[in-house]
Amino acid sequence: MNQGASMWKAGGEKRQQFINDALKARIKMTTEATNVRKYIDKKFEQLEKPAIFVLGDFNDGPGKDFFEKQFLFFDLISNIQGSIFEAHKFLNHALFDYPNQLRWSVFFKDFIDPDRNPNILLDHIMFTQALTNWDINVCVEPNSGFIEHQIHDEVNASLTQTQKTSDHKPVSVILSAEI
């Protein structure tokens, strides 16, 4: 996938090879997402209100929208979050109520879909309902999720490209606790 842009632009067999490789990678990611969701569902069989966080870089590569619309017909985040018809099992997103213009963690120009907004949310923090209503001694209250744009920019401002901490902005969530 490192040569993806040149393979895509070449067209023909090279583009088809890129698509095939990308689909294999997406199948692997889909399997991983399905396994995470199965784990969550199993926890709900074992505990009435499990406190679960799922977080990290859900890097789904270039052409996310293209592959989801043309080949997969679903997105990975929705599969992990679960069904709204089983709301008690649905994973909330820490950045749901974060300002839209700031709700991105990486700047990435997509060579497959150049019209796509390059500000992309790849880094996520999701959690079960048990963490929203003080069912346990910890709670994720509204407006507790953040993307640390300012600190990331300040830390990396004077660094060369090879010294920078990451191309991703850190995401965070504040947990409130009863003592």
pLDDT tens figures, 133-147: 888 899 999 999 999
Average pLDDT over residues 17-45: 92
CA angle 78, 82, 87 (to 5 degrees): 125
| Lowest-pLDDT choice from 42-56, 59-73, 126-140 | 59-73
Beta strand extents in the chain (DSSP E only): 53-57, 92-93, 106-107, 119-120, 123-127, 138-139, 145-147, 171-173, 176-177
- Per-residue pLDDT band for 32 (boundaries 50, 70, 90) equals very high
95: closest CA among 39, 37, 130, 140? 140
- Per-residue pLDDT band for 2 (boundaries 50, 70, 90) equals low
In what helix (H) or strand (E) does residue 79 lie, and over which residues does it extend? Answer: helix 76-81
Spatial separation of the C-alpha atoms in residues 91 and 160, rounded to whole Å: 38
> What pLDDT shows up at residue 94?
97
Spatial separation of the C-alpha atoms in residues 103 and 121, rounded to whole Å: 6
Spatial separation of the C-alpha atoms in residues 10 and 14, rounded to whole Å: 6
The pLDDT of residue 68 is above 90: no
Using an 8 Å Cβ cutoff, are 126 and 91 in contact?
yes
